[in-house]
């Protein structure tokens, strides 16, 4: 069913999703260290979602009788000079993940591997939401982030985000 290239891409996606979790934890640490607990909460939950994504790829491989191979997780950038830099990096990273998912999708389509494309459909939709959320945050920052009172309110709004398990069932 799954060809070698698709298996390889799915396996490397496990690592990319765990790396995403690590990167978002680095963002959360930055915000925590700068007194923005709401932003820190937002990115901590984002990290939990990325871990979930990694586990979904891992379980999909297992369900197809494939042994996942865990690789080392790269150390993320932890030197940020501004809030804007972090928010921009979040958006850039989500675009990178979208491109990565699309590459797996292309391979599966070319191989008429509809089992994998059906699995990936959830991620295609999820990536739209992820990119939109990252972009929205950047737009808000650009509009009023420099204003202390507005930043306080935005931080408060982000502190209300709660973790929910992914809707995808394997």
The contact set with ligand FEO (CB under 6 A) reads 17, 20, 50, 53, 94, 97, 130
Closest-by-Cβ residue to ligand FEO is 53
- The nearest distance, CB 152 to ligand FEO, in angstroms, is 27
Cα separation, 108 vs 99, whole angstroms: 14
Which among 75, 133, 123, 68 has a CA at the least distance from the CA of 99? 123
What backbone phi and psi angles, to 5 degrees, belong to 81? -100, -15
- The nearest distance, CB 153 to ligand FEO, in angstroms, is 25
| Residue whose CB is less far from ligand FEO, 75 or 132 | 132
- The nearest distance, CB 54 to ligand FEO, in angstroms, is 8
The answer to whether the CB of 57 falls within 8 A of the CB of 100 is no
| Residue whose CB is less far from ligand FEO, 17 or 113 | 17
| CA angle in degrees (0–180, nearest 5) for 49-43-91 | 90
| Residue whose CB is less far from ligand FEO, 97 or 120 | 97
């Amino acid at each position: 069913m799954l060809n070698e290239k698709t298996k390889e891409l799915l396996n490397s996606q496990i690592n990319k999703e765990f790396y995403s979790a690590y990167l978002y934890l680095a963002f959360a640490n930055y915000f925590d260290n700068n007194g923005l607990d709401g932003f820190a909460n937002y990115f901590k939950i984002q990290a939990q979602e990325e871990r979930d994504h990694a586990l979904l790829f891992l379980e999909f491989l297992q369900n197809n009788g494939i042994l996942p191979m865990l690789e080392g997780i790269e150390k993320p950038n932890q030197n940020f000079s501004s809030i804007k830099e972090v928010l921009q990096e979040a958006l850039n990273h989500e675009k990178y993940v979208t491109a990565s998912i699309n590459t797996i999708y292309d391979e599966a389509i070319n191989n008429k591997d509809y089992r994998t494309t059906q699995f990936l459909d959830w991620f295609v939709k999820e990536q739209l939401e992820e990119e939109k959320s990252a972009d929205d945050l950047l737009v808000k920052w650009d509009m009023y982030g420099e204003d202390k009172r507005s930043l306080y309110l935005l931080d408060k709004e982000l502190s209300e985000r709660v973790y929910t398990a992914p809707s995808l069932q394997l």
